[in-house]
């Protein structure tokens, strides 16, 4: 894990090792900066002050710890998640635009979460690849064969297809669970979930004998329902 972090951080290794003291010890994370303090250190960092960058990272570690709590049930070690989140925080500080008028924490929260999610997704994909390559038997010549050998397809294509099928299954479950009959029909026709052919709102309106604007309203309502269900 440390080797991966060193490669990812490059020249940021020194400040990162300082901040990992908070992770490995029982000490609490430092309090966040005030708005005025944040602006002060951001301006110093923009002028090339590396110490200011270190302070910005250190004083936002509490934000990393807060976001990491959401991913406690992913099976990853909590210290690893904080390390990954800290990488996202450092990237956020390096790319933050002080002229946008938003607080650093708002921008950093998205970067931290994105870094964690990318790592979790990468780990899941690796697990799929490993399972496809595990031996499942022996051929006529006594050589071990895997599921990948039988399928004869590139591992990336297979893992992507598996992931897609999982997502489609989740979507179909949500459609059957939360949508009314007309909402379900419109979503299925609109996005080709029945025969793979997507229909326009006008075509659906003609099929169902209703106005196009009514189809549009139903579609929007259905998508909102699905979004809430899948998000939950």
- Domain of 194: which CATH number? 1.10.10.10
- What's the CA gap between 145 and 164, in Å, rounded? 25
Write phi, then psi, for 38 (nearest 5 degrees). -60, -45
- Do 122 and 214 sit in the same domain of this protein? no
- What's the CA gap between 35 and 33, in Å, rounded? 6
- What's the CA gap between 129 and 24, in Å, rounded? 32
Instruction: Quote the pLDDT of residue 81.
Output: 85
Average pLDDT, 10 consecutive residues per value, the chain (232 residues): 42 48 56 90 90 89 88 77 87 88 89 88 64 59 60 52 64 85 88 76 90 90 82 67
Instruction: Quote the pLDDT of residue 210.
Output: 92
- Do 43 and 112 sit in the same domain of this protein? yes
Instruction: Quote the pLDDT of residue 5.
Output: 42
Instruction: Quote the pLDDT of residue 11.
Output: 45
Instruction: Quote the pLDDT of residue 146.
Output: 60
As for how many domains the chain has, the answer is 2
Which pair of structure tokens corresponds to residue 4? 């991966």
Helix (H) or strand (E) holding 109: helix 104-133
- Do 21 and 107 sit in the same domain of this protein? yes
Instruction: Quote the pLDDT of residue 223.
Output: 82
Instruction: Quote the pLDDT of residue 134.
Output: 61
Write phi, then psi, for 219 (nearest 5 degrees). -60, -45
Instruction: Quote the pLDDT of residue 214.
Output: 92
The answer to whether position 226 is within a domain reads yes
Instruction: Quote the pLDDT of residue 224.
Output: 82
Q: Show the domain range for 49.
A: 2-128
Q: Are 129 and 159 in contact (CB under 8 A)?
A: yes
Contacts 24+ apart (CB under 8 A), 113-121: 113/67, 113/88, 114/88, 115/84, 115/85, 115/87, 115/88, 115/91, 116/67, 116/68, 116/71, 116/81, 116/84, 116/85, 116/88, 119/76, 119/84, 120/71, 120/74, 120/76
CATH code for the domain of 96: 1.20.120.1810
Write phi, then psi, for 26 (nearest 5 degrees). -90, 0
Instruction: Quote the pLDDT of residue 104.
Output: 92
The position carrying tokens 């003291």 is: 21
Percent helix, strand and coil across the chain, each rounded to 5? 75, 5, 20
Q: Are 41 and 33 in contact (CB under 8 A)?
A: yes
Contacts 24+ apart (CB under 8 A), 72-76: 74/120, 76/119, 76/120, 76/123
pTM: 0.48
């Amino acid at each position: 894990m440390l080797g991966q972090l060193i490669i990812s951080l490059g020249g940021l290794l020194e400040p990162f090792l300082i901040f990992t003291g908070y992770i490995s010890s029982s000490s609490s994370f430092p309090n966040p900066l005030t708005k005025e303090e944040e602006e002060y250190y951001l301006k110093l960092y923009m002028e090339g002050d590396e110490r200011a960058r270190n302070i910005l990272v250190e004083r936002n570690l509490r934000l990393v710890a807060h976001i990491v709590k959401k991913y406690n049930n992913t099976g990853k070690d909590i210290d690893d998640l904080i390390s990954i989140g800290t990488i996202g925080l450092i990237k956020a500080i390096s790319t933050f635009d002080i002229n946008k008028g938003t607080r650093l924490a708002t921008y950093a929260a998205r970067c931290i979460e994105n870094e964690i999610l990318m790592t979790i997704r990468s780990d899941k994909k690796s697990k799929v690849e490993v399972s496809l390559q595990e031996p499942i038997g022996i051929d006529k010549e006594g050589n071990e064969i895997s599921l990948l050998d039988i399928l004869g397809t590139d591992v990336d294509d297979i893992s992507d297809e598996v992931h897609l099928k999982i997502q489609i299954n989740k979507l179909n479950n949500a459609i059957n669970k939360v949508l009314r009959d007309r909402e379900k029909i419109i979503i299925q026709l609109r996005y080709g979930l029945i025969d793979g052919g997507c229909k326009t709102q006008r075509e659906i309106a003609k099929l169902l004998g209703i106005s196009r604007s009514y189809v549009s309203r139903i579609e929007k309502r259905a998508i909102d329902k699905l979004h809430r269900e899948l998000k939950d």
